């Protein structure tokens, strides 16, 4: 049992307990994707129908692939590239499977480059909350604060500064390694975020717009849903569960052998989905109470929540706590976005992890600069009417992650011998194992391909 852990243990370390893994994986999954991405994407794609497709994707595609990814990680015990290469070799498969790991490493770097910019907005709001700048906001000022002429997005300097702060913090923590860096950061903060969100959702339910907000979120109206919305819902499921790019594979590599993967995966997916839904329940009643636009885009959470805080006598305090937690949630996700590339470079170069993390952090920071300038200096540089940040988000979330997930599902479903698979997947009943196997073999890949084909217009069922 111990021997299989040696490579990961000696090079990168292992999680100390199952709980530590659950917290780290939940820390990876729960992030801006849940609280920033899910509500605004649901809002832009008509609400209930998007949410329903999203939930279907989590259950039929996301959870099975989550189990597959953790399984690969624990089998390979290395960075996603090395893990894929090792397992492919052991199973006598083509070495080209390592490319799935490589695409994942690249995808993590690209996601982090814009993720850090959005995380920078949370820092900017935190600073505003602390200095009292969010007190007494009304609707117009809340919108102008973010998107106005002198708003947060309009200032290239501030965008770049906060992006830099966030990247430095991320690199410093990743540089310290699995135990000291990642584990201690998530233990306290994830439960606090959950409590805060429950409180906000309860408050929102007391607002006059609660009924309309909930109807928007939970009543499917398929006439509002376009194929692009279906693709976005699938991409969002991948993004939110941190799937398809090796983050969870890398974390799975540090998972002790006796932990049951299926149960652990179900817990992580359950937490992640609950947090997204809670964020929706907190946000949409505010949208309808104040006559805001549910489809207004990436700024949604940054406009709605400060408005709600402004109504409360302890609003300043609440705003400080909330943005601190949102920032933390973003940070714990960022760590996992950077881990695959870091672990791979550690394996390849045998250089000091700390130096690697700083160097890599710098490269990701550079790649992120165009995203930091997307809504100001480079606001004219759009493609399909989308600013650069949205383009990188769309390419990675909607294309690269589902593609990575497709290959991971096919590899685990068809290319690993049954005995090897079952040996790793203890804790599954025979029935659930069979259901899972056919989900990764057929259902998930077919659904991904089907949604892709729909989107590029080769199939047209709508
Ligand atoms: N799941 C994270 C979020 O929802 C983002 C993420 C994506 C993290 C992919 C790792 C890998 O914010």
**Torsion on CA atoms 8, 10, 11, 13, rounded to nearest 10:** 60
352: DSSP letter: -
Q: How far is the CA of 334 from the centre of ligand 1 (A)?
A: 7
Residues 433/61, Cβ–Cβ less than 8 Å: no
Query: Six-digit token pair at 52?
Result: 């329903």
pLDDT tens, position by position, for the chain (462 residues)?
A: 333 444 555 677 778 888 888 888 999 999 999 999 999 999 999 999 999 999 999 999 999 999 999 999 999 999 999 999 999 999 999 999 999 999 999 999 999 999 999 999 999 999 999 999 999 899 999 999 999 999 999 999 999 999 999 999 999 989 987 666 666 767 777 788 888 889 989 999 999 999 999 999 999 988 878 888 999 999 999 999 999 999 999 999 989 889 999 999 999 999 999 999 999 999 999 999 989 999 988 899 999 989 988 988 888 998 998 898 899 889 999 999 999 999 999 999 989 999 999 999 999 999 999 999 999 989 888 888 889 999 999 999 999 999 999 999 999 999 999 999 998 998 899 999 999 999 999 999 999 999 988 877 766 654
Distance CA 440, CA 60 (A): 9
Whether the CB of 276 sits within 6 Å of ligand 1? no
Is 80 inside any structural domain? yes
Is 236 inside any structural domain? yes
Q: How far is the CA of 273 from the centre of ligand 1 (A)?
A: 13
Residue 8: its pLDDT value, please?
58
Q: How far is the CA of 110 from the centre of ligand 1 (A)?
A: 12
Is 461 inside any structural domain? no
Q: How far is the CA of 373 from the centre of ligand 1 (A)?
A: 22
Whether the CB of 247 sits within 6 Å of ligand 1? yes
pTM for the whole structure: 0.93
Distance CA 296, CA 298 (A): 7
Q: Which domain holds residue 156?
A: 2-455
Residue 462: its pLDDT value, please?
47
Residues 263/40, Cβ–Cβ less than 8 Å: no
Is 462 inside any structural domain? no
What number of H helices and E strands is found in the chain?
23, 0
Q: How far is the CA of 38 from the centre of ligand 1 (A)?
A: 12
241: DSSP letter: T
Is 460 inside any structural domain? no
**Packing angle of the helix pair 261-289, 227-240 (nearest 10 deg):** 130
Whether the CB of 29 sits within 6 Å of ligand 1? yes
State the Cα angle at 306 between 303 and 308, rounded to 5°: 105
Whether the CB of 104 sits within 6 Å of ligand 1? no
CATH number at residue 177: 1.20.1740
Atom 4 (ligand 1) nearest CA: 33
Residues 405/249, Cβ–Cβ less than 8 Å: no
Distances (CA, A) of 9 to 83, 188, 460: 14, 24, 50
Is 49 inside any structural domain? yes
Please count the CA atoms within 13 angstroms of the CA of 41 that sit on its side-chain side: 31
Is 346 inside any structural domain? yes
Burial annotation 65-86 (CB, 10 A radius, 16+ → b, else e): bbbbbbbbbbbbbbbbbbbbbb
Specify the number of domains making up the chain.
1
Distance CA 65, CA 11 (A): 26
Q: How far is the CA of 305 from the centre of ligand 1 (A)?
A: 22
Is 324 inside any structural domain? yes
Atom 11 (ligand 1) nearest CA: 242
Atom 6 (ligand 1) nearest CA: 242
Query: Six-digit token pair at 169?
Result: 């913090």
34 CA closest ligand 1 atom index: 4
383: DSSP letter: B
Residues 378/385, Cβ–Cβ less than 8 Å: no
């Amino acid at each position: 049992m111990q021997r299989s852990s040696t490579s990961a243990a000696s090079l990168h370390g292992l999680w100390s307990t199952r709980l530590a893994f659950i917290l780290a994986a939940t820390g990876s999954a729960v992030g801006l994707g849940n609280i920033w991405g899910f509500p605004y994407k649901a809002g832009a794609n008509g609400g209930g129908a998007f949410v329903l497709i999203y939930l279907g994707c989590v259950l039929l595609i996301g959870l099975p692939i989550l189990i597959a990814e953790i399984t690969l990680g624990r089998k390979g015990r290395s960075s996603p590239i090395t893990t894929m290469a090792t397992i492919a070799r052991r199973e006598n498969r083509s070495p080209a499977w390592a490319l799935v790991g490589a695409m994942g490493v690249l995808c993590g770097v690209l996601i982090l480059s814009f993720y850090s910019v959005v995380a920078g907005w949370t820092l900017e709001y935190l600073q505003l909350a602390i200095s009292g700048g969010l007190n007494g906001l009304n609707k117009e000022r809340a919108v102008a604060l973010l998107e106005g002429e002198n708003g947060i997005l309009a200032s290239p300097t501030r965008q770049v500064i906060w992006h830099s702060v966030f990247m430095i913090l991320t690199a410093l923590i990743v540089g310290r390694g699995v135990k000291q860096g990642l584990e201690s950061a998530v233990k306290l903060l994830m439960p606090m975020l959950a409590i805060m969100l429950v409180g906000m959702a309860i408050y929102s339910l007391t607002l006059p717009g609660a009924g309309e907000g909930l109807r928007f979120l939970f009543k499917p109206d398929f006439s509002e849903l376009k194929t692009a919305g279906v693709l976005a819902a699938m991409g969002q499921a991948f993004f939110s569960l941190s799937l398809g790019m090796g983050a969870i594979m890398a974390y799975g590599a540090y998972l002790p052998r006796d932990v049951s993967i299926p149960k652990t995966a179900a817990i992580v997916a359950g937490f992640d989905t609950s947090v997204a839904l809670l964020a929706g329940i907190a946000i949409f009643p505010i949208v309808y109470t104040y006559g805001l636009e549910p489809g207004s885009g990436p700024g949604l959470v940054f406009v709605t929540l400060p408005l709600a805080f402004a109504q409360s006598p302890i609003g300043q305090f609440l705003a400080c706590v909330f943005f601190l937690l949102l920032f933390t949630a973003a940070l714990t996700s960022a760590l996992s976005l950077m881990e695959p590339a870091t672990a791979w470079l550690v394996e390849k170069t045998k250089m000091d992890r700390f130096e690697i993390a700083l160097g890599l952090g710098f490269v990701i920071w550079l790649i992120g600069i165009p995203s930091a300038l997307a809504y100001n200096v480079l606001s004219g540089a759009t493609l399909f009417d989308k600013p650069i940040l949205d383009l990188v988000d769309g390419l990675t979330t909607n294309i690269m992650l589902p593609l990575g997930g497709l290959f991971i599902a096919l590899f685990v479903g068809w290319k690993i011998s049954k005995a090897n698979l079952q040996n790793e997947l203890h804790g599954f009943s025979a029935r659930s194992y069979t259901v899972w196997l056919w989900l990764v073999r057929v259902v998930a890949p077919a659904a991904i391909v089907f949604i892709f084909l729909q989107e590029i217009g080769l199939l047209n069922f709508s």
